[in-house]
């Protein structure tokens, strides 16, 4: 089914991305008005959410981060907010998501925009947390916590993608916003959940941010896929899942769209 885009239902207007992260820092006890390049936001504990650590923010100096040589100075956007949250999930919640993934059955991941195919750039396995899975009482707690964290209701989330990597499996550098016009709009944010401790490898590397997240059971990483202006995707947040070296890695992708996804009767636009 094809439907017209209704931009009046956008969950974010320009500036709301930044405001959302600043609110998180406020909840961690910071005075956002005091942030500057000399007083960078660091993080802190938010009741009911976890222990926040700010990896990068618009207050950080982009000139010290790696980028491609051919970029003009004026094209450089501010650094994105990237925040890791320790203790975002309980062990019970992690275990339940893994169990639901196993019971649905992980299958070789596919890559694509409109047509999805197995691809040598992504060797992981995945399945999806569908509408039944999302009603599981333990999963509901996780979805509610993500909605509390972001202020964005579950309506705007794709069904969580549950992922599993065996030793040697990876997902090469990619961007989560694939850039075709869709009824639900672009992916504006990703929350990646780490569901187990990995015995070796399996970090999430952000090449341009000089940062690799180490998987830790119950932790989450949140990053934007779109600029605060919403005028384009955030080119800082290319990332890759490094190969797992030892043991399995379990995780979950929560991709958040600019407009309703869960109740959308159509995926394509006119």
Ligand X SMILES: O=C(O)CCC(=O)C(=O)O
**Nearest Cα to Cα of residue 28 among 13, 46, 10, 11:** 46
Residues 6+ apart with CB under 8 A from 10: 185, 230, 258, 259
Closest residue to Fe ion: CB criterion:
176
Instruction: Give 18 or 253: the residue with its C-beta nearer to ligand X.
Output: 253
Residue (185 or 251) nearer to ligand X, CB: 251
Q: Nearer Cβ to ligand X, position 29 or 179?
A: 179
Which CB sits closer to ligand X, 196 or 204?
204
**For 242, phi and psi rounded to 5 degrees?**
-65, 155
Nearer to Fe ion, 176 or 260 (CB): 176
DSSP state of 184: T
Interacting partner of 204 out of ligand X, Fe ion, none (Cβ under 5 to 8 A depending on kind): ligand X
30 vs 182 by CB, closer to Fe ion? 182
| Partner in contact with 192, chosen from Fe ion, ligand X, none, beta carbon below 5 to 8 Å by kind | ligand X
Instruction: Tell me whether residue 115 is exposed, middle or buried, using C-beta atoms within 10 angstroms of its C-beta: 0 to 12, 13 to 18, 19 or more.
Output: exposed
Q: Which does 251 bind (CB under 5 to 8 A by kind): ligand X, Fe ion, none?
A: ligand X
The values of phi and psi at residue 20, to 5°, are -65, -45
Q: Which two tokens stand for residue 185?
A: 């709009």
Minimum CB distance to ligand X, residue 2 (Å): 27
DSSP state of 18: H
Q: How far is the CB of 209 from ligand X (least distance, A)?
A: 14
Question: What is the closest distance, in whole angstroms, from the C-beta atom of residue 231 to Fe ion in the complex?
Answer: 21
Task: Return residues touching Fe ion (CB under 5 A).
Answer: 176
- Minimum CB separation from ligand X for residue 38, in Å? 32
Q: Which does 241 bind (CB under 5 to 8 A by kind): ligand X, Fe ion, none?
A: ligand X
Give the position of tokens 């995780």. Answer: 251
**Nearest distance from C-beta of residue 239 to ligand X, angstroms:** 5
* Cα separation values, 201 from 174, 176, 216, 253, Å: 18, 21, 12, 18
Contacts of 61 (CB under 8 A, 6+ apart): 37
- Short-list 210, 152, 176, CA closest to 17: 152
Q: Minimum distance from CB of 174 to Fe ion (Å)? A: 6
Contact set with ligand X (CB under 6 A): 163, 171, 176, 192, 204, 239, 241, 251, 253
């Amino acid at each position: 089914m094809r439907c017209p885009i209704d931009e009046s239902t956008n969950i974010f207007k320009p500036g709301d991305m930044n405001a959302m992260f600043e609110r998180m820092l406020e909840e961690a006890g910071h005075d956002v008005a005091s942030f500057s390049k000399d007083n960078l936001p660091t993080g802190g504990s938010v009741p009911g959410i976890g222990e926040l650590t700010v990896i990068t923010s618009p207050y950080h100096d982009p000139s010290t981060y790696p980028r491609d040589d051919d970029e003009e100075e004026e094209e450089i956007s501010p650094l994105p907010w990237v925040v890791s949250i320790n203790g975002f999930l309980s062990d019970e919640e992690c275990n339940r998501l893994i169990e639901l993934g196993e019971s649905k059955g992980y299958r070789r991941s596919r890559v694509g925009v409109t047509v999805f195919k197995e691809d040598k750039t992504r060797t992981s396995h995945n399945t999806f947390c569908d509408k039944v899975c999302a009603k599981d009482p333990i999963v509901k707690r996780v979805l509610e916590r993500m909605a509390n964290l972001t202020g964005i209701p579950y309506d705007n989330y794709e069904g969580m993608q549950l992922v599993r990597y065996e030793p040697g499996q990876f997902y090469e550098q990619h961007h989560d916003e694939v850039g075709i016009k869709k009824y639900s709009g672009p992916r504006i944010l990703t929350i990646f959940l780490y569901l187990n401790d990995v015995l070796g490898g399996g970090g999430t590397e952000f090449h341009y941010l000089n940062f690799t997240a180490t998987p830790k059971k119950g932790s989450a990483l949140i990053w934007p896929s779109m600029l605060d202006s919403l005028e384009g995707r955030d080119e800082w947040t290319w990332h890759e899942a490094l190969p797992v070296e030892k043991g399995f890695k379990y995780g979950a992708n929560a991709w958040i769209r600019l407009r309703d996804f869960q109740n959308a009767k159509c995926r394509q636009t006119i």
